[in-house]
Structure 1
Amino acid sequence: MSESNFTDIFNELKTYLQKYEDELVVVHNYDTSYYLDSEKVFPRNNKPYFFGSVSIKKNYVSYYLMPVYMFPDLLDTITPNLKARMQGKSCFNFIKFDEELFAELEHLTDESFKRFKKENLI
């Protein structure tokens, strides 16, 4: 897979997180990695709640969305095709640009943000 394809995937997925920059904290914003936290901290370890990130790896682009780990019911309505891109409980990996899956992931990100806000984690 060409690096430019991964860059295109990364740049697209990054926009799904970037729209929440004003209400979350940009931990880092690099050419191959973008990471958001909440300003609120987890009481047990006094560290910020991780919201999401996207990064270019060697063989794929990873999109992490922590709200789906914390609130697994967010995954109840995702399609089997998006579910197949999951690795672990909060990570989605992509090797090719897929507008349909990306639209679904953008919607899931929006729902995840709403849930974080509803649970007072932002």
Structure 2
Amino acid sequence: MDNELKKIESFLKESFQAYTPALKISSNKPGSMEAHGTIPTMQGRQKVDGFYFGSIVPKPKDIRLYFFPIYTHPQAFEDISEGLRKCLKGKSCFHIKKMDETLKEDISRMIKTGIETYKKEGILTK
């Protein structure tokens, strides 16, 4: 993995970690990171220890950010920037190949919105 992708991965992981203890980092390996809430809840038909929030998965040509709030509450993210929207592949997966300060700010704002949205829903601790 090139140095630029390592920086992107590091930024994304730090962005999730900034919201602990509301988020629980359930897996943090060199190959991925996964974050969940800390309140036991139903996710579909299954009871889970915490609602899935997102994952960070490095790939050879990009870093994947799987961001579940944009899937569960799309109306909260209708105003994401065009630059961030271009990275969105499918409903909740962002493929990030390059990062600048504007994209960092956009991602930080999106994660914060996801945290606030899930707190309002009672999925994350306040």
TM-score (norm 2): 0.88
- What's the secondary structure of 1:22's corresponding residue? coil
Give 1:63's aligned residue. 65
2:54 alignment counterpart:
52
Segments of 5+ residues of structure 1 without an aligned counterpart are none
Q: CA RMSD for the aligned pairs? A: 1.4
Deviates more, 1:58-67 or 1:105-114: 58-67
| Code of the aligned partner of 1:9 | I
For these two proteins, the number of residue pairs brought into alignment is 121
Letter in 2 for 1:93: H
CA distance in 1, matches of 2:41, 2:15: 23
Task: Report the alpha carbon displacement of residue 57 of structure 1 after superposing the two structures with TM.
Answer: 1.0
Quick one: distance in 2 between partners of 1:32 and 1:112? 23
Matching residue of 1:21: 20
- Name stretches of at least 5 consecutive residues in structure 2 with no aligned partner: none
C-alpha distance in 2 between matches for 1:56 and 1:98: 18
Deviation at 1:31, TM superposition (A): 2.2
Is the 2:17–2:23 contact (alpha carbons within 8 Å) kept by the matching residues of 1? no
Q: Where do 1:83-98 residues align within 5 Å?
A: 83-98=85-100
Q: Which moved more, 1:24-33 or 1:101-110?
A: 24-33
Partner AA of 2:74 in structure 1: P
Q: State the percentage of identical aligned residues.
A: 26
Shift of 1:8: 0.7
Question: Structure 1: which 4+ aligned runs deviate by more than 6 Å?
Answer: none
Cα shift at 1:41: 2.4
Deviation digits for residues 49-97 of structure 1, max 9, x if unmatched?
1111212112210112111110001221112221110011111111112
Matches within 5 A, 1:3-22: 3-22=2-21
* 1:114 equivalent in alignment to 2:116: yes
TM norm structure 1: 0.90
